[in-house]
Amino acid sequence: MSRVSFEQFQVQRAEFINQEENRALGSDVVLNEDEQKVNSHIMKLKKAELDVGFKTPRDFTPARHFFQALDKIKASPLFQLIQKMPKGAILHAHDTAIGSMETIVKATHKDHLWQNGDFDRPDPPKFQFSKSKPNPLNGSEWRSVAAIRREIGNEGYNNNIRNLFSLYHADPVNAYQCINQIWGTFSNIFISLEPIVTYKPVWEEYFYQSLEELYADNVSYLEFRGVLPPVYDLENHTYGPEEIVQIYYDLSEKFKKTHPDFIGVKFIYAPHRLGDDDAFKGYMDIAESLHKKFPAFVAGFDLVGQEDLGRPHVDFNERLLKMSPAIQFFFHAGETNWNYGTDENLIDAILLGTKRIGHGFAAIKHPRVLEEIKKRNICIELNPISNQVLKLVDDFRNHPGSYYFSDNYPVVISSDDPAFWCASPLSHDFYIAFLGLASARQDLRLLKKLALNSIEYSAMSKAEKVEAKHKWNIAWNNFIDQTIKSIAE
């Protein structure tokens, strides 16, 4: 068999590349003339970072740990442009880790806050809002935070709070030796934070400020998970699940009134997967009651917590199948690098009819799962920075999202718990995805597709999606116009 000529080879090669590009996420997006101008600009910025990284791989941002690249990302013209871009929705985030910890720092200046334990001890200190001094805890006396502030100074105290409620470390690779260790620290942050953030005035302030930060990051819609811990006040009143969701709803409506171009908010009830059978029955009852009272605001049900150490889906499947079919599922599944059982949660999630899959990191190991994801049009909620910080992947170029991008899988980019790793609500994850997960050829069409996907795969009704796309298109066109003007200057 004779070889083809070089000219024929060149034609075949060009066609091969063209076929690959036509399979990629965003290939169906058609850019108008103005968008093409912006695309040329954004691809110059992307190529500049790729070129630097290719010459000196250790300097390529997605090849480094996110904590070690924060300053470099902040200075990146590509990141700064992505910050300005309307990114649509966050579809995967957790209630008390969305907004920055500065709201919590501010909350520790409030009256009636008490602390038990010191910052320099192995066990983190505990906190409580109370009109009077709480009873000793295991023989240890409580002290007012105001008094501790006077001793160590406001800035010293504020920095201790910032460090306590963050996974950030200057040497993250050595600081966290394995996934179980960092998940333990991660879980302890939620536990330590809870008595501060669940004080009703702080609960309200934190959620509303989170919306402000989303809006400033050019995110216009939020679907967030919450475990609904008891919220309390100084009058010894404890607020239950329905009262807490009512607070969320009222604050969301208030925010929409003052930000008319903001699309809205929906809530996904997501209790912990470590609960025993009696607790799980209670979760199901809460899910049913919330759905009845807030059918348009409560989007559905999920289970949260480390999959590797949590109860597998097979423990819950029979009972989940008995839940009202009106309650949609948005299951975390495949947030693991094991091929050892935990990853089979993906199979259960799909067969249970999940509308989206949280993370789906392990889906690439399951061809049938991938087939069903496409067949059933199940969206994968990618959270690249979370996956690196929580030790599923070291180098973003090796993230399975690269494959999902290359073959047009239904995916969105989200941020999970951005406050705990000092990230913006969504821009950092978009930047990492565009530079580290996407191919060198994927361009503005991918970014636009990801934003549109976040609306299309949301739990909004058809009518809500029409309005959402209208608002997003206005913001997008304004972004294109402003970018063209800045390029010309």
DSSP result, 97-138:
GSS-THHHHHHTTSTTEEEES-TTSSSPPEEEE-SSPPPPBT
Residue 326 phi/psi, 5-degree rounding, is -75, -15
Domain that holds residue 366: 83-101+181-473
Give domain status of residue 28, yes or no: no
91 and 212 inside one domain:
yes
Q: Is 359 a catalytic residue?
A: yes
Taking only the tens place, the pLDDT of each residue in 66-93 is: 999 999 999 999 999 999 999 999 999 9
CB atoms within 10 A of CB 193: 22
pLDDT computed for residue 220 by the predictor: 98
pLDDT computed for residue 2 by the predictor: 83
122 and 97 inside one domain:
no
351 and 449 inside one domain:
yes
Sheet (strand 379-382) strand order: 89-90, 221-226, 264-269, 298-301, 328-333, 356-359, 379-382, 411-413
pLDDT at position 488 over 90: no
Residue 252, classified by CB atoms within 10 Å of its CB into exposed (0-12), middle (13-18) or buried (19+), is: buried
Percent above pLDDT 70 for the chain: 100
pLDDT computed for residue 190 by the predictor: 96
Angstrom distance (rounded) from CA 110 to CA 145: 9
pLDDT computed for residue 50 by the predictor: 98
Q: Concatenated DSSP letters for 87-101?
A: --EE-SBBGGGSS-T
Count CA atoms within 13 Å of residue 51 on its CB side.
6
Q: What is the count of structural domains for the chain?
A: 2
Q: Compute the average pLDDT of residues 355-366.
A: 98
pLDDT computed for residue 311 by the predictor: 95
Taking only the tens place, the pLDDT of each residue in 407-466 is: 999 999 999 999 999 999 999 999 999 999 999 999 999 999 999 999 999 999 999 999
pLDDT computed for residue 122 by the predictor: 85
pLDDT computed for residue 121 by the predictor: 86
pLDDT computed for residue 23 by the predictor: 97
Residue with tokens 């003052």: 258
154 and 224 inside one domain:
no
Measured in whole angstroms, how far is the alpha carbon of residue 290 from the centre of its chain?
23
Check if the beta carbon of residue 414 is closer than 8 Å to that of residue 387.
Answer: no
* CATH number of the domain encompassing residue 464: 3.20.20.140
**302-338: string of b/e by CB count within 10 Å (b at 16+)?**
bbbbbbbebbebeebeeebeebeeebbbbbbbbbbbe
pLDDT at position 254 over 80: yes
pLDDT computed for residue 180 by the predictor: 96
Angle between helices 200-216 and 179-197 (to 10 degrees): 120
Angstrom distance (rounded) from CA 227 to CA 210: 17
pLDDT at position 336 over 80: yes
pLDDT at position 300 over 80: yes
pLDDT at position 1 over 80: no
Q: Compute the average pLDDT of residues 241-256.
A: 98
304 and 363 inside one domain:
yes
Choice among 35, 213, 223, 335 that is catalytic:
335
pLDDT at position 232 over 80: yes
Count CA atoms within 13 Å of residue 483 on its CB side.
25
Give domain status of residue 421, yes or no: yes
Give residue 49's pLDDT band: very low, low, confident or very high (50, 70, 90): very high
Angstrom distance (rounded) from CA 36 to CA 31: 6
Q: Is 235 a catalytic residue?
A: no
109 and 97 inside one domain:
no
Percent above pLDDT 90 for the chain: 98
Taking only the tens place, the pLDDT of each residue in 364-420 is: 999 999 999 999 999 999 999 999 999 999 999 999 999 999 999 999 999 999 999
Name the nearest CA neighbour of 307 among 259, 339, 280, 281: 339
147 and 250 inside one domain:
no
265 and 150 inside one domain:
no
pLDDT computed for residue 54 by the predictor: 95
Choice among 359, 366, 399, 428 that is catalytic:
359
398 and 293 inside one domain:
yes
Cα distances from 91 to residues 73, 266, 293, 448, 450, in angstroms, run 23, 9, 22, 16, 12
- What average pLDDT does the structure give for the chain? 97
202 and 306 inside one domain:
yes
Check if the beta carbon of residue 409 is closer than 8 Å to that of residue 437.
Answer: no
